[in-house]
């Protein structure tokens, strides 16, 4: 079970630390203070995860059970790799029998059992390369992709929404029947057409906001559960409303 680290600090490092005024710009100092005082950052270090993002996936799974039963997983926008670490663990993936394929245009240190492609997911060759790398039909497609920030909020949102949309079409193209798709999106950002496409193809489509996703962030996750299969698209979706946690 994923325990919320809020209010407690199990890493032994003090919370509420301040960075001395001086060399850093005020905005950088604030970022650094928030980072070192973030209980999820401290807990990720303690538990050997490469990023605090691990807890978003674990919290979503705790409620929606998407990891148990997954035999092959594709991780889009994987670096630095905490979701891939979890994916490798739950699939018992090894280098001899890899069950996780991951992609990012940034470098990622190797993770045993994870086949990593360093390339842009929007490259037209990326889908085929991922299919080759996974070596079988995946039952879970994860996307934590966020477009690099430009400083222009609306542009950043639109780019990340585009990544979510391309990821959703990829999921429908590769998933095994009964499989799930989880992707980063923004509050109020999911396009109606994308939601309709997902509702046609999955039995349940919801929005979720795990506690470890910062409250001030407009980040949300779109979860589409129970892929109907490529033959059965268009049949009725059992749960149609979107639910925020
Ligand atoms: C929030 S981070 C992912 C963190 C990751 N889930 C983890 O647990 O370590 C988002 C990642 O998406 C990647 N990304 C964004 N756009 C991408 C694209 N077009 N192709 C591949 N990766 C992309 C970024 O480079 C970044 O590493």
- 117: domain CATH number is 3.40.50.150
Q: Could you tell me which residues are beta bridge partners of residue 74?
A: 101, 141
If you take atom 16 of ligand 1, which residue's CA is the nearest one? 147
Q: Which atom of ligand 1 is closest in space to residue 81's alpha carbon?
A: 9
Handedness of CA 183, 186, 190, 191 (dihedral sign): negative
Same domain, 36 and 123: no
Q: Which two tokens stand for residue 156?
A: 């950043």
Residue 120 labelled as part of a binding site: yes
Predicted pLDDT at 243: 47
- The total domain count for the chain is 2
Same domain, 21 and 57: no
Residue 83 labelled as part of a binding site: yes
Best residue for ligand 1 mutational test, from 43, 58, 78 (most atoms within 8 Å of Cβ) = 78
Output DSSP code: residue 158. Answer: H
Least confident segment among 44-58, 134-148, 222-236: 222-236
Task: Inform me whether the pLDDT recorded for 16 exceeds 70.
Answer: no
Same domain, 40 and 139: no
Tell me how far apart the alpha carbons of residues 122 and 62 are, in angstroms, rounded to a whole number. 31
Is 218 a pocket residue for ligand 1 (Cβ < 6 Å)? no
- Position with higher pLDDT, 150 vs 83: 83
Whether the ω angle into residue 159 lies within 30 degrees of 0, i.e. cis, is: no
Strands 140-143 and 180-186: parallel
Distance from Cα 81 to the centre of ligand 1, integer Å: 9
Same domain, 134 and 43: no
Is 219 a pocket residue for ligand 1 (Cβ < 6 Å)? no
Same domain, 65 and 155: yes
The pLDDT confidence band at residue 115, using thresholds 50, 70 and 90, is very high
Give the Cα-Cα-Cα angle 169, 173, 174 (nearest 5 degrees). Answer: 120
pTM of the model: 0.86
Tell me how far apart the alpha carbons of residues 56 and 144 are, in angstroms, rounded to a whole number. 10
Q: Residue 235 in 3-state DSSP?
A: coil
Pick from 75, 9, 79: nearest CA to 45: 9
Tell me how far apart the alpha carbons of residues 122 and 78 are, in angstroms, rounded to a whole number. 14
Report yes or no: 182 and 222 within 8 Å, Cβ to Cβ. yes
**Average pLDDT value for residue range 168-190:** 93
Same domain, 26 and 85: no
By residue range, what is the domain housing residue 158?
51-227
Residue 61 labelled as part of a binding site: no
The pLDDT confidence band at residue 94, using thresholds 50, 70 and 90, is very high
Tell me how far apart the alpha carbons of residues 235 and 238 are, in angstroms, rounded to a whole number. 9
Predicted pLDDT at 6: 35
Is 103 a pocket residue for ligand 1 (Cβ < 6 Å)? yes
Same domain, 33 and 85: no
Q: Residue 127 in 3-state DSSP?
A: helix
- Position with higher pLDDT, 111 vs 31: 111
**Average pLDDT value for residue range 21-46:** 77
Give the Cα-Cα-Cα angle 60, 210, 64 (nearest 5 degrees). Answer: 20
Tell me how far apart the alpha carbons of residues 111 and 116 are, in angstroms, rounded to a whole number. 9
Task: Inform me whether the pLDDT recorded for 20 exceeds 70.
Answer: no
Same domain, 43 and 56: no
Same domain, 43 and 71: no
Tell me how far apart the alpha carbons of residues 180 and 223 are, in angstroms, rounded to a whole number. 7
């Amino acid at each position: 079970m994923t325990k919320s680290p809020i209010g407690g600090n199990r890493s032994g490092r003090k919370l509420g630390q301040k960075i001395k005024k001086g060399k850093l710009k005020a905005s950088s100092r604030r970022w650094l203070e928030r980072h070192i005082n973030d209980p999820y950052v401290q807990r990720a270090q303690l538990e050997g995860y490469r990023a605090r993002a691990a807890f978003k996936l674990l919290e979503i799974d705790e409620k929606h059970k998407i990891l148990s039963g997954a035999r092959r997983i594709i991780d889009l926008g994987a670096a630095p790799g905490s979701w891939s670490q979890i994916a490798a663990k739950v699939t018992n993936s090894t280098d001899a029998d890899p069950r996780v394929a991951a992609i990012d245009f940034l470098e990622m240190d190797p993770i045993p059992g994870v086949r990593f492609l360093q390339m842009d997911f929007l490259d037209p060759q990326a889908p085929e390369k991922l299919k080759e790398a996974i070596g079988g039909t995946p039952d879970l497609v994860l996307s934590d992709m966020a477009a690099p920030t430009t400083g222009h909020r609306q542009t950043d949102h639109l780019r990340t929404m585009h990544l979510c949309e391309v990821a959703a079409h990829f999921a429908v193209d590769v998933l095994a029947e009964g499989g799930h798709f989880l992707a980063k999106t923004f509050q109020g950002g999911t396009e109606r057409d994308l939601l309709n496409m997902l509702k046609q193809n999955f039995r349940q489509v919801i929005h979720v906001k795990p506690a470890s996703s910062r409250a001030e962030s407009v980040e949300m996750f779109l979860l589409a559960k129970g892929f109907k299969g490529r033959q059965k698209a268009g049949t009725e979706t059992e749960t149609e409303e979107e639910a925020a946690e």
